[in-house]
Structure 1
Amino acid sequence: MAAYIAGKLGCEVAVEGLERISGGASRETYRFVCRWAEGGAPRSRRMILRRDPPASLIDTERRIEFAAYRAFHGSAVPVPEMLWLEEQDGPLDHPFFIAEELAGFQAAPQMLLSGAYDAVLPKIAERKWTILGEIARADPQALGLTEVMPAPALDGCWSKELAHWEAALDRDQAEPLPITRAAIRWLKANPPPPAQKLSVVHGDYRTGNFLFDEAGEIHGVLDWEMCHLGDPLEDLAWSFNPVWGFGQPDRAGGLASRAEAVAIWERASGLKADPAALHWWILFNCVKGQAIWVGSARAFLDGGNKEPIMVYPAWWLINAQDRAILKVMGKL
């Protein structure tokens, strides 16, 4: 690591305190302190390494993730600064990127919903869906993201995403999934209207993927691995997937009622969340979630990645996601 960064900075570098951060199943994540001298003065910076694992919960494109972070850095959407992207295996055995670490904040939903933050939960909810509205409002072309991400037609956003995740289920399932397949049949038979605009879709915008503090401010939106261009309702609906209620079924992300979250998002985005279209995307995201959990299990079963985090989502969430599908379809 020190040798790689030294080559980028053009000076001698020391790397200290390198440690793996637990959790996260699409990249290996490490934190460390980088020290060097600049103009005779000592410098240091806390950094994050995100390295490709041997096999992943989801197959993602690191160049797209890196580009999404860079596009939003310095905007109304808070993200860490990206430093270097390395797509070759040579330096660290697998491709990776390095970013600044936003230190001193929390991400765990279990901590957020433990009771210690109850006084600021309304503010966090306001900030959460306001930031998501800012993502939806953004112009992908102005951000330069149409150069690195395919831009589907407005009436093709739904079919592109559904085909992608259905193919993932076809490839990875280890046992029949009749409830999920029933949902797919319904989604195909009842397509949503065309997207009202082409938006940047974060792809995993939920409680647990942003950094917050005790005052209720959000300092960083993380985990852009599944970022793509599509219907902005997809992101809003992912935040309403029932599995993200964390034991509070009537509160989206454990934070607010769905009506409150939609109102915040509509104010920030300038868009409308048509109830029927939103329902379609919520059910779609239940299917997408199931494909991710099944893919995680497949990576573990095939022996490509024996990290415990790979089998945990399947053990914890496949049954829960089935129940969520039934709930959304009115069949639970």
Structure 2
Amino acid sequence: MSLTERLEAYLSRVWSTPVTVSDLSRIPGGASRETYRFSAVADGQTHPLILRRDPPGSLIETDRNLEYLAFASFHACLPVPKRPFFIMERVEGGAAASPFTVVPYGEHARTIGEQFFRILGTIAAADPTTLPLAKAAERPAPEDCWRIALDHWTKVIEDDQQHPQPIVWAAIRALRRRPPPPAQAVRVVHGDYRTGNFLHDGAGKILAILDWEMVHLGDPLEDLGWAMDPLWGHFEADKVGGMLPRDEALALWREVSGLEVDETALAWWSLFNAVKGQAIWTSAAKEYRDGGFKDPVLAISGWYTARRHDQILAEMLLRLEGLS
């Protein structure tokens, strides 16, 4: 049975009415999920939809159920696609920025940046015990958030590295020598909240927050550090994400989340996030080399982004050791 036929059978059963699927096509990119667009016609009405499913090989091993529950948790208060099962509504007219694009938001950078950090603050403000996500996500103790996160990504590097990575391992040793304070609150962590993972309409409005596959409960400073990583800065050193000055971004996040920013803790999570990035690029290179996933995005991730994060890690380590 073809994928189109399987979708028709599934949606007909769920909606209790005959459904016809048309225009099914794969959306390029995305290394941890296969994403398809299609239209479903039922009772004379056309529904533009998105399908997310696991690929034969994946850049990161994640739980699709958690991703689904993240949508269920935030669809009422954040711009995320609504979802019948793990088929989601298709958000039309949106664009996502490539990390290689200079000034991707043009004159709307400030407006989009304000929304971006307010939305991140909204995620950090949510009490996870009241959300559908609590059904499946493990809740760590505040003092264990950093160790669980670092152990996970260290193992990914151990399993997938193909050559010595001295800068990454120096950073891992530094992170273990200087652990951060316990999380001030255990909250929802998107896991990949950054430029390029949201759709905007080109006129200053964010339409949807995407790519929740790494969602978990942990220290909300993890998301903040990842969102501010220089890799996503679009070559603008004075603006986080190529959108806002750092102090303005932090002020917005504090205002909406109701949390404080401990600069020592944020520095730890920033260094950690560069290590996490390197773990992802390491897996990308291995997956592409081994032939499990032939999308060119993996080759680029295993080469350019890995070299860039090595540079970022080296600069952070020099500052940490007081050598720059």
The TM-score normalised by the length of structure 2 is: 0.93
Q: How does 1:1-332 map to 2 (within 5 A)?
A: 1-37=7-43, 42-75=44-77, 77-84=78-85, 97-109=86-98, 113-114=102-103, 117-329=105-317, 330=319
1:113 Cα deviation from its structure 2 partner: 4.7
- Cα distance per residue 1:216-237 (max 9 Å; x no partner): 1112111000000000100000
Structure 2 match to 1:92: none
1:310 Cα deviation from its structure 2 partner: 2.1
1:215 Cα deviation from its structure 2 partner: 3.0
CA separation in 1, counterparts of 2:99 and 2:278? Answer: 22
CA separation in 1, counterparts of 2:33 and 2:72? Answer: 18
Structure 2 match to 1:87: none
CA contact (8 A) 2:143 2:181 kept: yes
1:7 Cα deviation from its structure 2 partner: 2.0
1:146 Cα deviation from its structure 2 partner: 2.2
CA separation in 1, counterparts of 2:100 and 2:172? Answer: 35
Residue type at the aligned position of 1:156: D
CA separation in 1, counterparts of 2:107 and 2:41? Answer: 39
Q: Which moved more, 1:293-302 or 1:60-69?
A: 293-302
Q: 1:326 to 1:61 in 2, by over 3 A?
A: same
1:306 Cα deviation from its structure 2 partner: 2.0
Q: 1:160 to 1:110 in 2, by over 3 A?
A: closer
Structure 2 residues without counterparts, runs of 5 or longer? 1-6
Identical columns (%): 46
CA separation in 2, counterparts of 1:110 and 1:302? Answer: 26
Report the number of matched residues: 314
Residue type at the aligned position of 2:190: H
- Cα distance per residue 1:166-199 (max 9 Å; x no partner): 0000000011110000000000000000000010
Q: 1:165 to 1:21 in 2, by over 3 A?
A: same
- Cα distance per residue 1:30-68 (max 9 Å; x no partner): 11111111xxxx111100011110111111100000000
- Cα distance per residue 1:225-283 (max 9 Å; x no partner): 00000001000000111111122223211111222211111111111111111000000
Structure 1 match to 2:3: none
The TM-score normalised by the length of structure 1 is: 0.91
Q: 1:184 to 1:319 in 2, by over 3 A?
A: same
CA separation in 1, counterparts of 2:102 and 2:128? Answer: 34
1:211 Cα deviation from its structure 2 partner: 1.2
CA separation in 2, counterparts of 1:246 and 1:295? Answer: 24
CA separation in 2, counterparts of 1:210 and 1:10? Answer: 33
1:114 Cα deviation from its structure 2 partner: 4.4
CA separation in 2, counterparts of 1:233 and 1:257? Answer: 18
1:83 Cα deviation from its structure 2 partner: 0.8
Q: Indicate the RMSD between aligned Cα atoms, in angstroms.
A: 1.5
CA separation in 1, counterparts of 2:100 and 2:89? Answer: 23
Residue type at the aligned position of 2:115: R
Residue type at the aligned position of 2:199: L
CA contact (8 A) 2:102 2:235 kept: no
CA contact (8 A) 2:100 2:234 kept: no
1:311 Cα deviation from its structure 2 partner: 1.7
